[in-house]
Structure formats: C-alpha cells, structure tokens
Chain A
Amino acid sequence: MIVKNTGSETNIKLPFSFIFFSILALLISQFLILLNGDAFINGHFRIPAIWSAAHLFILGWALMIAMGAMYQLVPVAFLTPIWNEKFGFIQFAVTTIGVVSFAIALYIIPSKALIPGIIMLMGIVMFLIQMGMTLRKQAKPNILTLFVGSALVCLFLTIILGISLVISMKTGFASNYYSILFHSHLLLGISGWFTLLIFGFSYKMAPMFSLSHGYEMKLAKYVYSIYVTGLLSILLSFIFNFSWLFKCGFFLLLIGFSCFIWHIYLILKKRVKKKLDLPFRFALLAIIFGEMIHLLAFIASISNQFPSFAAPLIVAYIMLWIAFSIIGYLYKIVPFLWWTHKYSHVIGKKDVPALKDMINERLALPIFLSFIFGILLVSMSIALNGQMLFYIGQLLVTAASIVFGIAILAVIKK
C-alpha cells in the first residue's frame, strides 16, 4: 500500500503557546505553595491560596501542557490533521483567560469563581470539540483512540462536576451531594483524564523512543477494560456508599495499572535501541511510582484507612506519576517541535542537529533528581509535620521548575 504524505504537522505556534503559558503557571503555582507552607504541612489543603495553587498547577500547567502536546501528538499519532487551527488559537485564548481568572478568583474571592470557571469550561469544551472533530476524521480508530477518547470524556465530566461544585458552594445547589461531586471530580480528573491519556500516549511514545518492534498490543485491551471498570466501580461506590465497591474499584485500578506496567515492560523487551534517553527513563520511572501509589491506595482502602491517607496519596499521584510523566515526555516533545519547525525543510539539504542536541541533556539529571528528592521531602514534611523539611523540599521543587522552564525555553534558541 502506498501512503500519501500526511501533511499533518500543526502550526508550531499553537502547541508552543500552550507550553509557554504552562511553564509560567508551573512557576507561579510552585511559588504559591512555597509561600503557604504552614497550611500545606498542616494538611489544610482547602484554603484559597492552596486551591488557587492546586488549580494553577493542575489546570494551568498539567492540563494546558496536555492540550498543547495533544495538538502536536494527535495529528501524528492518529495520522489526521487538526480539525481547525484557527479555532485552536481561539480556544487557547479562552482557556488562558479562564484559567488565570479562575486561579485569581480562588485566591481572592472563591465565591466569585463561577464566571471564570464558566469561561474555563468554555475553553475546555472548545478543546473537546476540536479533538472530537479531529479524532472523527481518523480513518481507522484503534485502542489508542479508545484511551484518548475516554480520557477526553473524563475531562468533560471532571469540568462539569467542578462547575457543579462552584455552583453548589455559591447557591447551596445539590449541597447534600457535595461530597459525591467532589470525590468524583478528583477521581475522574486525575485517574480518568490524566492516567488514561498518559496510558494512550505511552503506547505510542514508549515504542517510538525505544525503537521497539514486533510487540503485541492485545494486553492494552485488558489494561483499558480493567482500569475503566475500576474507575466506574469507585464512582458507583461514591453514589451508593458501598465500601466493598470502593475496595473492589481500587483493586481493579491496581490490576489495570499492573497490566499496563507489564505491557510496557514487554514492549521494551522488544526494543532495538539499547540505551534509553534519560528523559524517557524518567517517564518510565513515573510508571513505577504510579504502580507503587496504586498499591498503597489499595492497601489503604482495604484497611479502611483511605480517608487518612487520601491527601498525601493524591499529592504523590499528581506529582510522581502525572507530573513526572509529563516532565519526562516534554523533555522529548519540545525539542522535536522546534526541530520540525526549524530543520524539517532543510533535512537532506544540509547537516541538521539530532533531537538530543536541541535540549541541554546534562541538565536533565539534576532537574529530575531535584524533583524526586524535593517531592519526597515535601511528602515527608506533610507526614511528619516538619516545617524545615517542607521548605527544603519545596525550594528544591521550585528551583527544579525554574531550571526546567529555562531548559525548555532555551530550545527555541537552537
């Protein structure tokens, strides 16, 4: 079969707009956490400053970066161009206004967060329309489409639940169900949207970065069905308050994640590239952390201790699994984006740099180690209520975020 040129490369300004904004959001969120250390180590996560920092980190950094990366990865992974680039720029502007005003409102007057929340919702709905229309054009949907499509559905539900929470806070609407809405919002946001998205794109990127060949994809179906059933089981447990359903859900999430880690191991066993790049190894380390956190969450649920450990488990999940996966992959994606923009048209005409020459790889190790030790210290500080540990840990994370931002921004000078 002869394949036509896809012409599916996205205008670089679109993913880069998201990436630049997200780095700024990362830095501000880390500074906000640093400045509110007392509340953080005492487990007072539900105060305006921490809400603002958490949403800036999750929405301003992780969500915006996921959106930017998807504008680049969806066309290449699914062999279909983005539905409407102009719409993408408008979506970026709307989401940015929404995220910034929402974070400010949460910090200053949480009761006035509804309008900014609705603007943000509009931005995210626009993104969902964009991705839905793009994926619809895919000639042959596959298991990756299912992972990414389901992740997008979870994102939509997360935002609807989030807006319901804001309305509930403001008007008392559905106040009896506040806890169900809040827990479902967290579950679908972090385990539904982010985890399913990372699963989906890892299946594309892990073989690509390791040059794996001749591996089976059958296991991915089990990963999907077991993990999604686990999510549904926990959601139902929130609604019907059945503790066995809650435990069963965490068991299924653990099994689903274990199947995923086993599958990635089998894929990597078939790799041609012997030595894997450091940023990719960091993304693989995130999978190991993810597995450990799923195991701890399951143990906490069967020993009826989950409520006591929920906060540190969620923080660890967001940082060690979601954030580390994003950081590792971003270290690979950004050089590729800039390389494509700058050198794609001269390849074959003159010498072009390799992708690993586009970003300072020597900085990768200190950045990644600072993130790991910083987050471990912050987690310990929450558990031990240690102020000094928190400040050392959070300073390390903040410093690593700054150097990470500089390394990413420096790519455009290459």
Chain B
Amino acid sequence: MNLKEQIALVDKIREHLKKVMDPELNINVVDLGLIYDVSLIEENAVEIVMTLTTPGCPLHDSIIGGVKHCVLELEEIDHADIQLVWEPAWSPEKMTEAGLKAIGR
C-alpha cells in the first residue's frame, strides 16, 4: 500500500468512525473530538488513540468497544488497537464545527 492509499484508508476509517455515537450527547466520536490519532501500524492493522470527555465517563467501555467494532467492520482492517489516553485532556476546542452545532453552540 503506497502513501496515498494509506492516507485514503485513514480518512476512510475516520469517516467510518462517525457511526459511533455518544448516546448521551447524540454526537459521533469524531465530531466530539474524541479521536486523537488514527495510524496504520501494519497494512491491515490500525492504532487509534482516543480519549473521553471525562475520566469517570459511564460510557467508557461502551464507546471504546464501539470504536473497535466499527473499524473491524472495514474489510481492509483485521486488527485494531485502541489506546485510551487522558493526556492531552479533552476540551470543547477539540470538537468539530458540526459537533458544536449539534450541541447548540
């Protein structure tokens, strides 16, 4: 896979991750700014670095599991490694314009 194809796949993964919704806010994890990094570690393996809005988020396990299921749905991906980080902490500035609009800002 050349660089152009890798970039296209990362974009596809990011777009696909919009299927994962935070059920409390009803905004997807990408527009909410939870996905910090998507990188291909091997041809069919992806590493996703993400956070949550708060460390004690009750939807902790559900959202992380959802992100994993979602990327594994793609036929190009066989393995997904989800890294949950608290640094840098999530802030509203990380939300996309669509996310802010959905929340009424």
A-B interface contact total, Cβ < 8 Å: 107
- In the complex, what residues of B have CB within 8 A of residue A275's CB? 104
B86 and A3 contacting across the interface, CB-CB below 8 Å: yes
How many angstroms from the CA of A4 to the CA of B66 in the assembled complex?
A: 15
Interface centre among B23, B60, B86, B100 (most CB of A within 10 A): B23
Task: For the complex formed, measure the closest distance between the CB of B18 and the CB atoms of chain A, giving whole angstroms.
Answer: 11
Of all A-B residue pairs in the complex, the 6 with the closest CB atoms, nearest first, are A347-B66, A348-B66, A348-B70, A274-B104, A348-B69, A344-B62
- In the complex, what residues of B have CB within 8 A of residue A355's CB? 23-24
- In the complex, what residues of A have CB within 8 A of residue B59's CB? 336, 340
A108 within 8 A of B: no
**Which residue of A214, A272, A348 is within 8 Å of B65 (Cβ)?**
A348
Task: For the complex formed, measure the closest distance between the CB of A212 and the CB atoms of chain B, giving whole angstroms.
Answer: 9
- Which residue of chain B is the closest to A335 with respect to CB atoms? B23
- Which residue of chain A is the closest to B71 with respect to CB atoms? A348
16 further A-B pairs in the complex, CB-CB below 8 A; given A7-B61, A340-B62 = A3-B85, A3-B86, A72-B58, A76-B60, A77-B56, A79-B56, A208-B24, A213-B92, A274-B103, A274-B104, A339-B23, A348-B19, A349-B66, A349-B73, A352-B21, A354-B23
User: A-side binding surface: helix, strand, loop or mixed?
Assistant: loop
- Which residue of chain A is the closest to B93 with respect to CB atoms? A213
Task: For the complex formed, measure the closest distance between the CB of B20 and the CB atoms of chain A, giving whole angstroms.
Answer: 5
A344 and B105 contacting across the interface, CB-CB below 8 Å: no
B44 within 8 A of A: no
How many angstroms from the CA of A351 to the CA of B18 in the assembled complex?
A: 11
A361 within 8 A of B: no
Chain B positions near chain A (C-beta within 8 angstroms): 19-21, 23-26, 53-70, 73, 83-87, 90-92, 95, 100, 103-105
Instruction: Tally A residues with Cβ within 8 Å of B.
Output: 42
- In the complex, what residues of A have CB within 8 A of residue B58's CB? 72-73, 76-77, 208, 336, 340
A345 within 8 A of B: yes
Task: For the complex formed, measure the closest distance between the CB of B101 and the CB atoms of chain A, giving whole angstroms.
Answer: 11
- List 10 A–B pairs whose Cβ atoms lie within 8 Å, in order of A's numbering: A1-B86, A7-B61, A204-B56, A273-B25, A273-B103, A340-B62, A348-B65, A348-B70, A348-B73, A354-B21
Task: For the complex formed, measure the closest distance between the CB of B16 and the CB atoms of chain A, giving whole angstroms.
Answer: 9
- In the complex, what residues of B have CB within 8 A of residue A209's CB? 24
How many angstroms from the CA of A297 to the CA of B95 in the assembled complex?
A: 45
How many angstroms from the CA of A339 to the CA of B59 in the assembled complex?
A: 10
How many angstroms from the CA of A345 to the CA of B70 in the assembled complex?
A: 11
Q: A339-B23, A348-B65, A356-B26 are in contact. Are A2 and B84 (CB under 8 A)?
A: yes
B64 and A5 contacting across the interface, CB-CB below 8 Å: yes
Task: For the complex formed, measure the closest distance between the CB of A48 and the CB atoms of chain B, giving whole angstroms.
Answer: 41
A208 and B103 contacting across the interface, CB-CB below 8 Å: no
**Which residue of B63, B67, B105 is within 8 Å of A274 (Cβ)?**
B105
Interface string of A64-79 (1 = CB under 8 A from B): 0000000011001111
Interface string of A324-359 (1 = CB under 8 A from B): 000000000000100110011111110111111000
**Which residue of B19, B25, B26, B83 is within 8 Å of A2 (Cβ)?**
B83
B55 and A79 contacting across the interface, CB-CB below 8 Å: yes
- In the complex, what residues of A have CB within 8 A of residue B104's CB? 273-275
- Which residue of chain A is the closest to B24 with respect to CB atoms? A355
B70 and A349 contacting across the interface, CB-CB below 8 Å: yes
**Which residue of B23, B63, B86, B100 is within 8 Å of A353 (Cβ)?**
B23
A8 within 8 A of B: yes
Q: A2-B85, A356-B26 are in contact. Are A349 and B69 (CB under 8 A)?
A: yes
B73 and A343 contacting across the interface, CB-CB below 8 Å: no
B20 and A347 contacting across the interface, CB-CB below 8 Å: yes
A1 and B87 contacting across the interface, CB-CB below 8 Å: yes
